[in-house]
Amino acid sequence: MRADLHAHSGVSDGTDTPAEFVAAAAAAGLTVVALTDHDTAAGVPAAAAELPSGLGLLAGMELSCRFTAVDGVRVGVHLLAYGTDPANPALRASCTRLRDGRLSRTRRMVALLAADGLPVSWEQVARIAGGGSVGRPHVARALVEAGVLTSVQAAFTEEWIGAGGRYYVDKVEADVTEAIELVRAAGGVSVLAHPLASQRGRTLSDDEIVCLAGAGLTGLEIDHPEHDRDRRDHLHRIAAAAGLLVTGGSDYHGGNKPNRLGAELTAPGVVEDLLARCTGPALLGGPA
Ligand code: AMP
Ligand code: FE
Ligand code: FE
Ligand code: ZN
């Protein structure tokens, strides 16, 4: 088994259609791939409908969350959710709130840019997002299209829409403890995405991660392109102490990021363990 448990399609801020996504996963030699679009699982049925033989699709999403520290500081965290019931009303409502928040927040970022005379419009960003879960990469692509920037990456700086940037606006986030419970109640399992990806902003302390384990978190995504060897070693010690599973994923975003499918993998035994902890059928299709 070769399993990549973190990847995005154009239903959020990747660039592949769901059909292109599963074809790319098979071409990368994967036998299991999770589709984890930001705040939506809307791409899963279309991806499942186009599954090449020998590829299993793990239904997932990546929820935009915050952890409120004891000093009141809010830390943005991403929660990977796998195997949730797509019809679960509470989880659907939470995703809708997060996506609606993305719409208004992106409109504000575009308005700030336009107010400074930059040639971007909401219509252009909405066209690039194509009706899916809108995010900063879509704004970045609009800036590239307009000739303002030469790459999507170049937008993620303080001058533009990077963390703390001039045109950056916070997004609506779910409380991470509540999200873990929502995912569990919807029959799924949750894994903390890239816990030490520190270039995105403040990350959780060891104690804060242990606190999430107590709240029902199932795993830590340790094998992620933004974690160096030291961070991985450190997280392995936390996972062992807190009884958390260890996962890996590439965080593939098609043409919006250099991350390649299969660059990071999850051990087969962990995939089985995750599936066993989901109450419903989480894996669609399957490895040959
Ligand atoms: P948002 O969820 O709208 O705040 O946007 C965050 C997304 O931007 C992440 O999920 C990544 O897909 C993307 N992103 C973050 N940093 C970078 C970067 N340096 N280059 C390209 N894309 C990035
Ligand atoms: Fe993304
Ligand atoms: Fe993420
Ligand atoms: Zn991601």
Helix axes 89-115, 122-129, angle to 10 degrees: 140
pLDDT in tens, 60-113: 999 999 999 999 999 999 999 999 999 999 999 999 999 999 999 999 999 999
What are the distances in angstroms from CA 221 to CA 133, 137, 268, 279? Answer: 22, 22, 14, 21
* Ligand 1 nearest-atom number relative to CA 14: 12
Q: Is the pLDDT of residue 251 over 70?
A: yes
Closest to 86 (Cα-Cα) out of 33, 32, 47: 47
User: Model confidence at 288, in pLDDT bands (50, 70, 90)?
Assistant: low
pLDDT in tens, 224-239: 999 999 999 999 999 9
* Ligand 1 nearest-atom number relative to CA 8: 12
* Ligand 1 nearest-atom number relative to CA 138: 3
Give the residue whose CA is nearest to atom 2 of ligand 1: 135
Give me the mean pLDDT over the 18-45 stretch.
98
Count of Cβ atoms closer than 10 Å to residue 27 Cβ: 11
pLDDT in tens, 263-286: 999 999 999 999 999 998 899 997
Closest to 82 (Cα-Cα) out of 287, 285, 279: 279
pLDDT of residue 198: 86
Reading the block at residue 119, the tokens are: 């040639």
CA of 117 to the centre of ligand 3 (A): 31
CA of 128 to the centre of ligand 4 (A): 18
**Phi, psi at residue 64, to the nearest 5°?**
-80, 115
User: Is residue 136 lining ligand 1, measured as CB closer than 6 Å?
Assistant: yes
- The alpha carbon of 211 is separated from its chain's Cα centroid by a whole number of angstroms, namely 21
Contacts of 230 (CB under 8 A, 6+ apart): none
The answer to whether 162 and 200 are in contact (CB under 8 A) is no
Give the residue whose CA is nearest to atom 5 of ligand 1: 136
Give the residue whose CA is nearest to atom 14 of ligand 1: 137
d(CA 60, CA 133): 14
User: Is residue 138 lining ligand 1, measured as CB closer than 6 Å?
Assistant: no
Contacts of 64 (CB under 8 A, 6+ apart): 38, 39, 76, 78, 98, 102, 171, 172, 173, 174
Residue 203 DSSP code: -
d(CA 150, CA 17): 24
pLDDT of residue 83: 98
Closest to 242 (Cα-Cα) out of 211, 277, 267, 203: 211
pLDDT of residue 199: 83
What is residue 183's three-state secondary structure?
helix
- pTM for the model: 0.96
What are the distances in angstroms from CA 102 to CA 14, 49, 163, 168? Answer: 16, 28, 15, 12
**Phi, psi at residue 97, to the nearest 5°?**
-65, -40
